[in-house]
Structure 1
Amino acid sequence: MIYEIAEIQIKPDANAAFEAAVKEAVPLFQRAKGCQAMRLERIIERPDTYHLVIEWATLENHTVDFRGSEDFQAWRGLVGGFFAQPPKVEHTETVLTGF
């Protein structure tokens, strides 16, 4: 299992509209090959910054399957206009679970 963590900084005063656009995009991720979960988290100390956390079965499910799909283009169409700068995307894997 791989986690995609995208740090997204949005334009000022666009929180409600951005969150609504991400909610509208949920079905795009639900039907994506290998996508097992997604959530959007807002950074408390920086309210115009979010973490989009997506659980993928494999790295390629994100980097090849989803990014090469029409649904990825639809995702960017829904949310891209809110970006203050390009998202920073990293992938992680769990190496230890404490409890």
Structure 2
Amino acid sequence: MVLEHALLPVRPGQEEAFEAAFAQARSIIAASPGFGGLTLSRLVERPGTYLLLVEWDRLEDHTEGFRGSPAYEEWRAMLHHFYDPFPVVEHAERVMEA
């Protein structure tokens, strides 16, 4: 399993619209092969910033499969205009848990 993470800086005053758009867009990513689940959280210290965590079976399920699909274009059209600046997306592999 690979964990994608991104801090999503949403334009001030657009938080409610972003959350509504994300609620619609999540079905797009959820239909992608290799998708294992996601969480979207709002940072307490920075309420206009969200933490997105997405579980993928393999890195390529995200980087090639989802991002290379027509579904990603729909996802992008629904969400990317909310970000300023555009978020950095990284991936991690679990080392341990408690």
Please give the alpha-carbon distance, in whole angstroms, between the structure 1 residues aligned to 2:12 and 2:55: 28
Q: Name the counterpart of 2:28.
A: 28
Corresponding residue of 2:90: 90
* Identity percentage of aligned residues: 39
Distance between the aligned counterparts of 2:57 and 2:93, measured in 1? Answer: 11
Matches of 1:64 and 1:45, distance apart in 2: 34
Structure 1 stretches of at least 4 aligned residues deviating more than 2 Å after TM superposition: none
| TM-score normalized with structure 2 length | 0.96
* Cα distance in structure 1, aligned partners of 2:76 and 2:6: 13
Task: Give the CA RMSD over aligned residues.
Answer: 0.7
| C-alpha displacement of 1:26 | 1.3
TM-score by length of 1: 0.95
Where does the alignment leave 5 or more consecutive residues of structure 2 unmatched?
none
Instruction: Report the number of matched residues.
Output: 98
Shift of 1:88: 1.1
